[in-house]
Amino acid sequence: MLLYLFYILSAITVGCALLTIFSKNPVYSVLFVIATFFSIAGHFILLNAQFLAIVQVIVYAGAIMVLFLTVLMYLNLNKSVESSKPLLIKIAAMVSGGLLFLVLIASFKSGLSIAPTSVRGDAGLIKNLGNTLFTEYLFPFEATAVLFLSTMAGAITLTRKK
C-alpha cells in the first residue's frame, strides 16, 4: 500500500517538476512548483516526518511561492519572446548546474554511509527534530538568525528609494 502510494506520489512529483520546466507561461510554472511542493510534503508524510511535511506546505507552498508570484508580477510578462542567451551564460549555467549536482551526489553519498546508525522511523517527528536541532545543530540554528537579518537588510537596501 505504502509502496504504491510512493510510486503514485513520485510520478506526480516528477510530472509536475517537468511541467514546471516545460510550460511557457511563468505563472503556470509557479503553480506547478506549488503542486510539486505539495507532493513532496506527501513524501515527507510517507517518511513519517510530519513536521517537515507541514513546514513544506506552510513555508514552501505557502510563503515562498507567494513571494515567487509577487516577483513574477514585477517582471514584464507582456512580451513572451525569450531572447536566446549568449554562449558564455550558457556555459556558466552548465557549470553551476553541474556543481550543484556534484554537491547533491556528495551529500547523498555521505548520507548513505551514516544511514544505518542515525536514521530512525521517528527521526522526523517534531520532538526528536527539536532535540537534535537544539543540541547538535545549535550553531547553524543561531546562524539562521544572522541570515534572516542579512536578508532583511539586503532587501531593504536594494529596494529603498534614493
Partner 1 sequence: MAAEVAVATISAPHDYLPIIVQLIVVLAFVGGTILATHFLGPKRKSKAKLDPFECGIEIHGNARTPFSIKYFLVAILFVLFDVEIIFMYPWAVNFKENLSVGFEAGMNNFIQMSIFLGVVLLGFIYVIKKGVLKWD
Which parts of this chain interact with partner 1 (CB under 8 A)?
1-2, 5, 45-48, 50-51, 55, 58-59, 62-64, 66-67, 70-71, 73-74, 76-78, 120-122, 125-127, 129-131, 133-134, 138, 141-142, 144-146, 148-149, 151-153, 155-156, 159-160
d(CA 35, CA 68): 14
Whether the CB-CB separation of 37 and 65 falls below 8 Å is answered with yes
Nearer to partner 1, 17 or 35 (CB): 35
C-alpha cell at 56: 513544506
Q: Please, what is the minimum distance in Å from the beta carbon of residue 100 to partner 1?
A: 22
Torsion of CA 78, 84, 86, 88, to 10 degrees: 100
Please say which residue, 71 or 95, places its beta carbon nearer to partner 1: 71
* E strands in the chain: none
Comparing CB distances to partner 1, the nearer of 23 and 68 is 68
Q: Which is nearer to partner 1, 102 or 126 (CB)?
A: 126
Tell me the C-alpha distance between 62 and 7, whole Å: 25
